[in-house]
Amino acid sequence: MNQINLFIELTRLKKPIGFMLLFWPCAWGLTIAYDFSNNLNEYFFYLFLFLLGSILMRSAGCIVNDISDREFDKKVLRTKNRPIASGKISITLALIYTLTLCLLALMVLHRRSYKI
């Protein structure tokens, strides 16, 4: 359970503003461009893919940011307790998490390309 909490903290899933800032422009663009005389299930399917892609890529970006800023984060009061800066998660494990999230996002993109 502790590893799950560290992963949630590492990917900042408790702070949804980041992935929502990625998702809303996608949702608006889809809504403007979509032909609503077609099946609405397809619209909601794409909306779900955009949401999932936003969450996955923002989470991977947070990990990459924490890896690159780990020395700086150790010196800042607000960020010194982040999992990588505090040493709770190793760089190797963080890279594995990042690659896993990116592969999942690639699967979302691949699924989307066949649906169009």
User: What are the mean pLDDT values of the chain's consecutive 10-residue runs (116 residues total)?
Assistant: 90 94 95 91 93 96 96 93 94 97 93 58
pLDDT at position 111, please? 72
Query: Shortest CA distance to 51 belongs to which of 14, 16, 11?
Result: 16
pLDDT at position 112, please? 58
pLDDT at position 6, please? 93
- Kind and range of the H or E element at 31? helix 17-33
pTM above 0.85, yes or no: yes
Cα distance between the two ends of the chain: 39
Cα–Cα separations (whole angstroms), residue 64 to 28, 31, 53: 28, 31, 16
Which pairs count as long-range contacts for 39-44, CB under 8 Å and 24+ apart, including other chains? 42/115
- The ranges assigned to domains in the chain are 2-115
